[in-house]
Amino acid sequence: MTFQIGDKVIYPNHGLGVIERIEEKTILGTTCGFYSLRIASNETTVLVPVGNADSVGLRRAIGDTEVDRLFRILADGKIDSQQNWKGRFKDNSEKMRSGSIYDVADVLKSLTLLSKSKNLSFREKRMLDRARFLVVSEISEVLQEGQVAVEARVDRALDRSLITRSRVAARVKPVKVLPAPAPLPVIARRAVRAS
Confirm whether 45 is domain-assigned: yes
**In terms of DSSP H, where are the helices of 56-144?**
64-75, 85-98, 101-117, 122-143
% helix / strand / coil in the chain, to the nearest 5? Answer: 50, 15, 35
Same domain, 127 and 78: yes
Q: Which domain holds residue 34?
A: 8-60
Give how far Cα 92 sits from Cα of 16, 69, 117, 124, Å: 20, 21, 18, 9
Look at residues 175, 181, 161 and name the one whose alpha carbon lies nearest to residue 70.
Answer: 161
Query: pLDDT per residue over 137-189, tens digit each?
Result: 999 988 889 999 999 999 999 999 888 888 877 776 666 666 666 666 666 55
Same domain, 86 and 49: no
Residues 6+ apart with CB under 8 A from 26: none
Query: pLDDT per residue over 95-129, tens digit each?
Result: 988 878 999 999 999 999 899 888 989 999 999 99
Confirm whether 35 is domain-assigned: yes
Same domain, 20 and 110: no
How many structural domains comprise the chain?
2
Residues 6+ apart with CB under 8 A from 111: 92, 120, 124, 127, 128, 131
Confirm whether 186 is domain-assigned: no
Query: pLDDT per residue over 13-55, tens digit each?
Result: 788 899 999 988 888 888 888 999 999 888 889 888 898 888 8
Q: What is the pTM (predicted TM-score) of this model?
A: 0.76
Same domain, 18 and 56: yes
Look at residues 163, 173, 152 and name the one whose alpha carbon lies nearest to residue 116.
Answer: 163
